[in-house]
Structure 1
Amino acid sequence: MKLFTKPKSDEEKLIEGCIAGKREMQRLLYDLYAKKMMMVCLRYAPTTFEAEDIMQDAFVKVFANIANFKRDCPLEFWIRRIMVNTALKHLRGKQLLTVSHEAEEVGNLSAEDYSLSGYSMDELLGMIQSLAPRYRMVFNLYAIEGYNHKEIGEMLGISEGTSKSQYSRARAILQSMLTRQENNYQEHVISS
């Protein structure tokens, strides 16, 4: 009696090809994820040039460690985690990630406090990139990557309370930027 085996998925074939060191499979994996991962790196890096460096370093790690990928999560999630960790390590090395351990009092803002519609992705990314590195890191890790404050504290070597405080401060700064931009737009429309 012949047993039927489940056919391998395209992702599984891609992973196996990368493990085998097949350049065309590595290129395919890179092409498949590069755009999304560049957006991840841009959220952490202060410049496009540094984001490109981070992404390149991270993809080297992806290819060097893909044999260790346990397949207990989606491949994209695993690659994203490498991108984030590489960005954090890169920024620590450049001493761009300096963290204040002082608590800062900022009122809580809800998502309803401001609307993001009407802003391009580039405008929003620019606002996030203009945050101080410590605020940008916490904001990205919490709001975009989905880590909780305890995990962020462990990753950055800060307390959970400091992570919460810096996230609140980042949101307040972004709220201020959005309000300023909206006011400038309204003044321009009125004066036209």
Structure 2
Amino acid sequence: MTDADLIAACLRGDPRAQRQLYNQFAGLMLTVCRRYLKRPEDAEEALLLGFAKVFQALPTFRQEGSFEGWVRRIMVNQALMELRRREPLTLSFEDFAQPENLAATPATADTQLQAEELLALLQALPAGYRTVFNLYALEGYSHPEIAELLGITEGTSKSQLSKARALLQRRISPSTINS
């Protein structure tokens, strides 16, 4: 069944199609939510609330662009709402008062991280760093879009991304990787 067929069946109220849509995207979208929210149960709640919004907004999907991308955008917005509710989105500046703290460990070709290790590294970032990093590096948002979404300046978005990258690079070392 194509996305268009699945959407049409969902719009007709077919519960099997609704279940198929959920099953098709739930795993991937839970991963998206987990990148923003530290606690798995918070990510699951964001996922469920996000799917409620997907089904509610389904009549507005215009078949332009990727359906998965449309669902992902709803999930990111829901995860951000949950993040604001559960974890203050303070933009963190600790550990970066001195320029030497921005020095990064150079990445090497043999640096291999498992998905769970990467998720743990992301979740260890302060909420502001983690959110900007996810939006920019993983979701593909631009700095102007991030600034608008989070109510910050473009400069703050760029600064948070730079600091998140530096902190991640410092934390990724041969001693943290199980090759």
Q: TM-score w.r.t. structure 1 length?
A: 0.82
CA contact (8 A) 2:112 2:177 kept: no
Whole-angstrom distance in 2 between the partners of 1:74 and 1:185: 35
Give the counterpart letter for 1:160 in structure 2: E
Give the CA RMSD over aligned residues: 2.5
* Helix, strand or coil at the partner of 1:162: helix
Question: 1:6-45 to 2 correspondence within 5 Å?
Answer: 10-45=2-37
Gaps of 5+ in 2: none
Question: Per-residue deviation at 1:70?
Answer: 1.1
Q: Report the number of matched residues.
A: 174
After superposition, give the CA deviation of every residue in 1:19-56 in whole Å (9 maximum; x if it has no partner).
Answer: 11111000000111111101100100011111100001
Larger radius of gyration: 1
1:108-137 deviations in whole A, cap 9, x for unaligned?
Answer: 86xx93147421100001100111100000
- Which residue, 93, 106, 121 being the options, matches 2:85? 93
What is the alpha-carbon distance in structure 2 between the residues aligned to residue 119 and residue 145 of structure 1?
19
Confirm or deny that 1:177 pairs with 2:171.
yes
What is residue 77 of structure 1 aligned with on the other side?
Answer: 69
Residue identity over aligned pairs, in percent, reads 42
Q: Which blocks of at least 5 consecutive residues in structure 1 are unaligned?
A: 1-8, 187-192
Post-superposition offset of 1:185 = 6.2
1:165 to 153, 159, 163: 159
Q: TM-score, normalised by structure 2?
A: 0.88
Instruction: Please list every run of at least 4 consecutive aligned residues from structure 1 whose deviation after the TM superposition is greater than 6 angstroms.
Output: 103-106
The alignment status of 1:113 with 2:106, answered yes or no, reads yes
